[in-house]
Amino acid sequence: MSLKPRSNTDLWQLDKLVGMAMLIAATTIFLYYTLWTLFMPFVDDDHPLQALFPPRVWAIRIPVILTLLASAVVGTFLAMVMIRSNRKKAAKARAAAAKKSK
């Protein structure tokens, strides 16, 4: 089996497919959340449509949890980048000091 590089057309089509999937997912999530938070409070509690949605308290909890999780991931990434950058600077300083002392 040979591994030939993909052409730009193949990559463009893959990008288009992934972009369309992301757009559909985002639209679906937006519509579901909008229905849940804006329209479901006006529907009777015993209506069968209420079974399709979690309790309203989760309308606040889920975005808060996702925001905290995203902040933790970004903070961890930045901390790792800063630590690695500091290690490289320290190694360069040690190499320069060792070169000077010779």
Q: How far apart are CA 39 and CA 70, in angstroms?
A: 28
Q: What's the rounded Cα separation, in Å, for the pair 75 and 92?
A: 26
Query: What pLDDT score was predicted for residue 27?
Result: 99
In whole numbers, what is the pLDDT of the chain averaged over residues? 91
The reported pTM is 0.67
Q: pLDDT value at position 2?
A: 57
Give the integer Cα–Cα distance in Å for 54 and 19. 29
Region 59-68: mean pLDDT is: 97
Selection from 68, 83, 33 nearest residue 53 by Cα: 33
